[in-house]
A and B are shown apart, each in its own frame.
Chain A
């Protein structure tokens, strides 16, 4: 097992959060908060989502129970011998927007990626009590050090788009969309333009 090496000094003052989430934790998270995630999560990206939603369309069971879970948008590079995983940073989240509301209906509580989400996804998150986090794009080598275990769960033939279960320790992230409908990217943009921030949803 590799020692997680992300701690203070990279992001200061990270608030530790356990995943799956403890009761009533999500409502305490605000857009712009810096957190570090420890626990288990599932991964998925374009083809993973397409397949999950196809199963739902066919009325079949999913290979995992998404209730209460966090889904990390990542397609890792292959592990060398002795490594848990290769580089494993976030992929751009908007490509999953078409599928996300369906998964939120099943109780998915959080997603993790990079870049902003569509208004329909943000509305669905608010409705279902879910949050969205981003982490540092293009830092896949460093972020891989926070992943202490990786196991294949489904869709092996999809290669890097397979569904994995990760165990993570001190995985750094920023809260982008909180339960109140705030959006951190829009807060930053409003500040930049010198206008008062107003929630879009």
Chain B
């Protein structure tokens, strides 16, 4: 049995919130530079250069990479042997509140009916998963809605097959055009049920950029989708070229014999996400 104080959770979430918005993961910068090197469109090449310069300024001056510092999505994976002293959910929300205030991050959460801003960026959306062991992992993904609004979900008939799945994903990214700030990361959830597919798509965005799915047949689909999207897509910022997406991440789960749910959750080029283990 391991005991974790709620104050530790609050402190960890506060730190994650600030860092996720200001410090991009090094592998993202490498990917953006690689994209720049293979880019043919001069305007897209310049835009990729700007994105790298922007990330460097943000990290150096601790300014958010993007003014849309998102609605917080928090993935908590808690071992069955972990005991949390205090209120877990409150501890997480308090961490978000503190991080967004202390980090000068934008407060973008509002009531869906009145559109009144809560002024604190809480509540965050929390997903809790219980696993064996005595580890507590907190993943944080500040989700901007230029990209989030381009998401979609479809309940395909099984007869649509993988051809239908791939067509849906490619079309979703094409329809999104320049809105989600390409080059994007495309999260795909395949299988399960209506809500499971959406959660898988979101969760795939926590994966290190471009890491393939461990299942070889799924990894192959990811590669094929990435190629198609980069052939048919609008390119960086919709300004042409060969870099509409940096990666496709697909997660799968068994589904019903009558069903083929597909969810697409698009992430912008900053691919902001951070994780910590307590």
Contact = CB atoms under 8 A, between A and B. Distances in A.
A56 to B, nearest CB: 18
Nearest to A160: B106
A61 B146 CA distance: 31
Category for how many chain A residues contact B: 35 or more
A89 B51 contact: no
Contact of B50 (A74, A78, A116, A142): A142
A78 B240 contact: no
B87 interface: no
A184 B177 CA distance: 12
10 shortest interchain CB distances as A-B pairs: A137-B181, A141-B58, A142-B54, A87-B67, A115-B179, A77-B106, A139-B54, A140-B67, A141-B63, A188-B240
Contacts of A114: 146, 178-179, 181, 237
Interface of A: 10-12, 34, 46-47, 50, 74-80, 83, 86-89, 91-92, 94, 114-116, 134, 136-145, 158-161, 174, 184-185, 188-189, 191-192
B62 to A, nearest CB: 8
Interface residues of B, number: 44
B67 A89 contact: yes
B146 A92 contact: yes
Contacts of A141: 54-55, 57-58, 61, 63-66
A19 B270 CA distance: 31
B146 A189 contact: no
Contacts of B46: 10-12
Q: Which among A34, A46, A142, A143 has the highest number of chain B CB atoms within 10 Å? A: A142
B238 interface: yes
Given A10-B49, A114-B178, A74 B67 contact: yes
A76 B181 contact: no
Nearest to A46: B115
Interface of B: 42-43, 46-47, 49-51, 53-55, 57-58, 61, 63-69, 104-108, 115, 117, 119, 146, 149, 177-179, 181, 232, 234-235, 237-240, 268-270
B58 A185 contact: no
Contacts of B149: 92
Given A92-B179, A136-B47, A188-B239, 6 more contacts: A47-B115, A75-B106, A87-B64, A136-B50, A140-B68, A159-B119
Given A89-B66, A115-B178, A75 B61 contact: no
A87 B146 CA distance: 15
Contacts of B117: 158-161
B65 A87 contact: yes
Given A141-B61, A159-B117, A188-B239, A136 B51 contact: yes
A59 B101 CA distance: 38
A144 B50 contact: no
A176 to B, nearest CB: 9
Contacts of B65: 87, 138, 140-141
